[in-house]
């Protein structure tokens, strides 16, 4: 008998393992997202895409053009322009002409936006810490390391 | 000096670690989902929620009521009734009266639906295996184990 059937079995097992792994990753990610969405709604009457948009602006002190902002957002669902309009009406973000590109405008957090975001970010971080508290510091490092390596492969595939 | 400031620093570091971990998990999950969505569209002219719906029915030979189906679906985005209508019109799923519950109906895959799903599932599994090929068998086991433990904590929080 050749070694082929064994090799095939191993390949199939590996495929199944990868599939199980992906479904587990997706299910963890969806459950965490759902939990944070609910907490955002009940504690701050806001949505995860709004929080995400403000988080991206907070990390970009010079502001972002709409296109850059869309690319950086982590959460999908909801159009970015619509969310930006709501946040602008609420006085949390501002839209100004871009000094380097007259056709475009840049979005920044207002002073009030920075204040509101800081408060939400503090609680958000605590919720996330609670979610991962079942894992030890060491487990978290290992998980972080494995996901970083996975992301490197994923970024390569994008190019 | 008391040990308090040190404890606080450690707590804050741990919070930051958890936050970084969550953002990495979300980013991996979103990138993989995007890649599979694109492959489903270009290879089978179908969507991930449609595939997901068929996958849930394939795992339930006796069929599922609409409510059960919604709860089991992993992918959000798109209403389940609308997707089921499309799949029924395409002859891939069937809607029959539930023998145990006269007010409800159960959805099942048709013979053609099972054939189409088997073909898609085979390729889907290969795409997923390619995505994880940068990790060794051992890495995949470790990642799977850590995510399983994370999911246990998440399920507890749901109750």
Nearest to B76 by CA among B33, B119, B43, B106: B33
> A58: which 2 tokens?
């907070």
Residue A20: per-residue pLDDT = 93
Structural domains present in chain B: 46-158 (1.10.10.10)
Question: What rounded mean pLDDT belongs to chain B?
Answer: 89
Tell me which of B14, B123, B129, B142 to substitute to probe the interface with A (most A C-beta atoms closer than 10 Å). B129
pLDDT, average across residues A69-77: 80
Kindly provide the ipTM of the predicted complex, given to two decimals: 0.84
What's the pLDDT tens digit per position in B2-57?
455 566 666 677 788 899 999 999 999 989 999 999 999 999 999 999 999 999 99
Quote the minimal CA–CA distance from B5 to chain A in Å: 18
Residue A159: per-residue pLDDT = 55
**For residue A24, which residues of chain B lie inside 8 Å, CB to CB?**
144, 147-148, 151
**Are A151 and B24 within 8 A, CB to CB?**
yes
The secondary structure of chain B as a DSSP string is: --SHHHHHHHHHHHHHHHHHHHHHHHHHHHHHHHHHHHHHHHHHS--HHHHHHHHHHHT-TT-EEHHHHHHH----SS-HHHHHHHHHHTTSEEEEEETTEEEEEEEEE-HHHHHHHHHHHHHHHHHHHHHTTTS-HHHHHHHHHHHHHHHHHHHHHH-
């Amino acid at each position: 008998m050749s070694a082929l059937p064994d090799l095939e079995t191993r390949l199939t097992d590996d495929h199944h393992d990868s599939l199980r792994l992906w479904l587990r990753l997706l299910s963890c990610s969806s459950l965490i997202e759902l939990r944070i969405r609910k907490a955002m709604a009940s504690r701050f009457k806001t949505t995860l895409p709004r929080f995400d948009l403000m988080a991206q602006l907070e990390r970009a002190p010079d502001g972002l053009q709409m296109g850059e902002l869309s690319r950086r957002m982590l959460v999908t669902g909801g159009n970015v322009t619509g969310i930006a309009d709501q946040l602008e009406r609420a006085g949390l973000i501002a839209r100004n002409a871009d000094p380097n590109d007259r056709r475009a405008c840049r979005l920044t957090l207002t002073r009030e936006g920075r204040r509101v975001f800081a408060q939400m970010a503090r609680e958000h971080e605590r919720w996330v810490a609670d979610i991962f508290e079942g894992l030890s510091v060491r487990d978290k490092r290992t998980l972080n390391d494995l996901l970083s390596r996975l992301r490197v492969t994923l970024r390569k595939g994008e190019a």
